[in-house]
Structure formats: C-alpha cells, structure tokens
Amino acid sequence: MSKLEEFKEFQAKISRYSQAIALMHWDLETNAPNNAFEYRSKALGELMEALFRMSVSDQMGEFLDYFSKKENYDELSEIDQSMVRVNKKDFDKFKKLPPQLVRKLAETTSKAGYFWKKAREEDNFALFEPYLQEVASLEKEQAEALGYEKNRYDALLDLFEPGMKTETVKGTINYLKEHLLLFLKELLEKGKEPRYDFFEGDFDVNKQKELSLEALKFMKFDFDSGRMDMSAHPFTTKIGPKDVRITTRYNNKDLRYSLFSTMHEGGHALYELHIPEEFFETPLDEGASMAVHESQSRFWENIIGRGPHFWVFFSKKLKDIFPSFEGISNDELYKGVNIVKKDFIRTEADEVTYNFHIMLRFEIEEALINDRIKVDELPTVWNDKMKEYLGIVPTNDAVGVLQDVHWSNGQFGYFPSYMLGNLYSAQLFSKLKKDLKDYPSQIEKGDSTEVLNWMVENVHNYGKMYEPEELLKKVTGETLNPKYFVDYIKEKFSAIYGL
C-alpha cells in the first residue's frame, strides 16, 4: 500500500465508525424501543470516544504532517489536496480541545437536554436555567480553547460555518432588517391575505404519506439509496454512502406541514446522495457547511415547493390523493402555501418572518457568549426582541425561549446557518435562473431533471472540498450578497399579497 492508500484506509476506518454511530442515532429516533435508551447511550459514548481518539491520534497527526509538506502536497490531485486541508483543519481544531472539556460537555449537554425537555413541558425556565448556565460556561471555555481573532463567538460560528465571521453575520442582519422590517409591516397592513382554509381540515396520515412520496418522486429521491420514516422532529441522516434517510411528521389538521417537511429533508438528502463516489469514506463526503446544506433544503422546500411552477404540476397529484381540493385553482394553491404570519414558532415560520426568528437567537447567544447578558435574563430579552422584530410577545416560555433544542445541546453558533442558508439559496437560485432559462416550463411539466443536475454540478459534486464562501464565489461569481434574498422575497410576496 502506498502512503496515500494507507491514509485513505485510515480515513475509511474513521468513516465506518461514524456510519455505525449515525445508524445508532437514527434508530433511537425512529425504531428503538423506549427502554433501549440507557444502554444505547453508553454504546454511543463508547464508539464516539473511539472515533474522537482516532481523529486526533498521533497516527492522524503523522499522516497530515506528511501530506501537508509542500513536496508531498503538490503531488496530490486537487481532490486529495482538499481532503488533506479539510482534515487538517479539523485535526488542528479538535487537538486544541482538552479531553476533559469534551467529556464534560458531553455529560452536561446530556443532562441539560433532559431538563430542557422537562422545562419546556412544564413551561418552567427556572428548571433549565442552572444547566444552561453550565453549558454556556463550557461553551465559552471551548471558544477560548479553540481561539479567535476578534470575537469569542467567531470560534463557535466556525464550527458550523467554516470561515464565517460574527461581523459578517451582523452586517447581513442589518441589511435584512433595513429592507425587510418595513416590507413585512406593509405586507400585513396593506396586502390582501390569500385563502388557505382548504389546507386545514382532517387529512388521513397514510394519504399524506402518499403525497410526500409523490413530492420525493418529483425530486428524484432514490429509494434504493434511502428511505423515509416518521419521527417526532423531522431530520436527515447519512448512515453511510448510498444510504441517506429522512424522516417526516404528520399533522392531521394541516396538510402543509408534512409536505414541506418532506421536501425540506429531501433537499438535504439530495445533497448527500449526489456527492461523488470518489469522496466516499473521506472527510469530503458531506456538505460544505450547515448553511450550504440549508440552502439545499430551503431551495426544494421554498423556492421550488412553495413556487408557482411546482403547483401547476403538483395540484393534479394533490387532487388525485385528496379530492377535496377539486375546484381550487393552481394559483390559489400556490398562494395558500405562502401565508405570512407573525407567530412564535421558528420551525413553522414563513419565508418573510423566518429570518427574524434567527436574528433574535443570534443576537442573544452572541451577547451571552461575550458576557454582555446573563442566562437568567434570557426570557426577558427574548420577549423584548420578539416584540421589537415581530410585534408580538410569546404567551409563555414554552413557545418562547424554551422552544428550540439547540442551546441544551451546546450548539451555540448553529442558528446563523438557518438564515445564511436562506440567503445562499436565493443567491444560487438567481444564477440558476440565468443558466436555465427554460426551468419554469420544465417544473410545470413535473420534470426536475435539469434543475437537479444544475445543483449537482454546481454544489453537490464538490462535497466538502470548498469552504462556503469559496463555493458561493465559484458558482455565483460573488461572495454572500443578501440582496438576492431581499429581491426574491419582495418580488414573490408583493405579487402574492397584491402590493
């Protein structure tokens, strides 16, 4: 075996451990009997520790030293060079984390997750507070260990969105506020809300599943390399190469919920499923970042699924499965899936209000990590910001500061990905429209081939080779530009609301 083959075999070994771990997690969320949790957690901890040890091992260090040397690096293919770069960045990062901190974080977030659930159920923030306190303090420690130039939050942000800076997020938020706060006000005050009563009622879950499968078929989801199940919270997992699974959730009172959850997760899945075989079992075999991933899910969910052309095609499928929609026009269906509402819950927010939910979370966690606010102030700060951005105040903490799982998990720095994903999707879409002038008529015929191929060629094909900014520039010719999103929103919703 050559040194490169040996290195790849070592990476494959690491990948195989993550495949087992991914399956163990997926199974817990979908199939595992209730009592399995305790020992499954121990088994997961065991394999995760083994995985972490290999990732930061001396053996890994030696491989990376060798292949980072100019004379060896220059010999590598472009893909292998990326692979070394990505691997080295992770190695250097995780090497900085003291093992005790890693263990402490795992233990604390496990406890915090339990108390978060309880606190949310009982609408009692005080129950969660001491654990969140602990998590936040460990997150600060982690940020210090990882290091940063300007802002402690940068260290955490980089874990989810490589290369992204707090300053850029702040600038982007200001731009969005400036252009969308007023637009939202105008829309709700002067616009005409479309009908959507036909989407509410009593919808058989098996038929909803059929409809979801039709949407996945349209997206060319390959059921030989994946599957769809049900879980409390929809998610996508790559179990391994050629095995990407999504879950969805059914709300029998509102048909839209499962359909768009499915298209969202389907978008994540398409990304993972089209990463080239050459990348399998290497660190490049995943999406470029959380936000680029989100750009794919939001593209299929919102830009395509909540777009006008899709409903020209899909309304027939809908009516075949649910005859109650007979007599509703394509245009009415299209508008009915695009209702804008000021509401408390992020995951159910429309395209216009969604980013405001993210902004407040980002502003709170950035201030918390930089010690400008304290954990016990969170409920008040949260409600104040909801009032400021959306003009409403949560009726209780369960639908306010306690609604998301992320902080209990220690995922400080994750939220901006959701907003950035929306912006990336609009920026990519603007380029796609220029490249595929004929795309509307193809989608209207139910043919997603060219649209999907464009995404594969421009995004999926690169896996994790490039950092998000590089990738965006490569595809669209420029770095993040929130104007595309603002233009997209204004044009789409002005028309729907008749402004």
Q: Do residues 441 and 425 make contact, with C-beta atoms less than 8 angstroms apart?
A: no
> Binding of a second copy at residue 51 (CB under 8 A)?
no
With CB under 8 A as the contact rule, which of the stretches 23-31, 65-73, 128-136, 191-199 interacts with a second copy?
A: 23-31
The smaller minimum CB distance to a second copy, of residues 226 and 463, is found at 226
Specify the amino acid at residue 163. Answer: G
> Binding of a second copy at residue 36 (CB under 8 A)?
yes
Per-residue contact track with a second copy, 201 to 240, x per CB under 8 A? ---------------------xxxxxx-----------xx
The smaller minimum CB distance to a second copy, of residues 38 and 189, is found at 38
Per CB under 8 A, the list member of 6, 46, 384, 487 interacting with a second copy is 46
The smaller minimum CB distance to a second copy, of residues 229 and 491, is found at 229
> Binding of a second copy at residue 139 (CB under 8 A)?
no
The smaller minimum CB distance to a second copy, of residues 113 and 241, is found at 241
The smaller minimum CB distance to a second copy, of residues 20 and 328, is found at 20
> Binding of a second copy at residue 1 (CB under 8 A)?
no
Q: Is 363 a catalytic residue?
A: no
> Binding of a second copy at residue 31 (CB under 8 A)?
yes
> By CB under 8 A, what part of segment 354-413 binds a second copy?
none
Catalytic residue among 134, 161, 214, 265: 265
> Binding of a second copy at residue 431 (CB under 8 A)?
no
> Binding of a second copy at residue 42 (CB under 8 A)?
yes
> Binding of a second copy at residue 276 (CB under 8 A)?
no
The smaller minimum CB distance to a second copy, of residues 86 and 246, is found at 246
In whole angstroms, the minimum distance from the beta carbon of 286 to a second copy comes to 14
Per CB under 8 A, the list member of 10, 20, 179, 343 interacting with a second copy is 20
> Active-site positions?
265
Contacts with a second copy by CB under 8 A lie at 12-13, 16-17, 19-20, 23-24, 27, 31-36, 38-40, 42-43, 46-47, 50, 222-227, 239-243, 280-281
